[in-house]
Amino acid sequence: MDRSTLPILEHLPEDCGLVFFDGVCSFCDGFIRWLLRADKRHRLRFSTLQGETAQALIPHLASEKKSIVLIWKGQAYVRSAALMQMLQILDMKVLKAFFRLLPAGMRDGAYDWFARNRYRLFGRKSHCTLPSLSERALFLS
């Protein structure tokens, strides 16, 4: 994924990642709120899987809406690999070490189970939560 051929990514700083999430998932909304608080250096930008940016950059992944996707330095990460990379970006070594104790296949299996059941466990929203004024610059359509 070359930044120069993707105009959407051209205006993002080189050391920023782009997180795609399910905008109507209540759990996902809470997770994004947690990332916003944890990202003190503002290295992450956000967009919903239902948005225009996802449709332009990752249409094959956006249609599923079962995975979190991270675009970081030209590479796409999905499922538990995306979560592990976000922990790396946020310099959360202890949490990453804890999750690293589980093999990737086990992490992805747990992720898939959770993704299938998250609406039942946490609910679904009728629309995406709007970011605050101070957060808007971190969100893409």
Number of domains in the chain: 1
Nearest CA among 83, 78, 110, 79 for reference residue 96:
83
Is 19 a member of any domain? Answer: yes
- Domain containing residue 99: 3-123
Tokens describing residue 72: 């970081």
Is 62 a member of any domain? Answer: yes
Is 111 a member of any domain? Answer: yes
CATH number at residue 23: 3.40.30
**What tens-digit pLDDT sequence spans the chain (141 residues)?**
544 445 556 667 778 999 999 888 899 989 999 999 999 999 999 998 888 888 888 887 766 667 899 999 888 899 999 999 999 999 998 988 888 899 999 999 999 999 999 999 998 887 777 777 778 888 877
Q: Which residues pair with 78 in a beta bridge?
A: 69
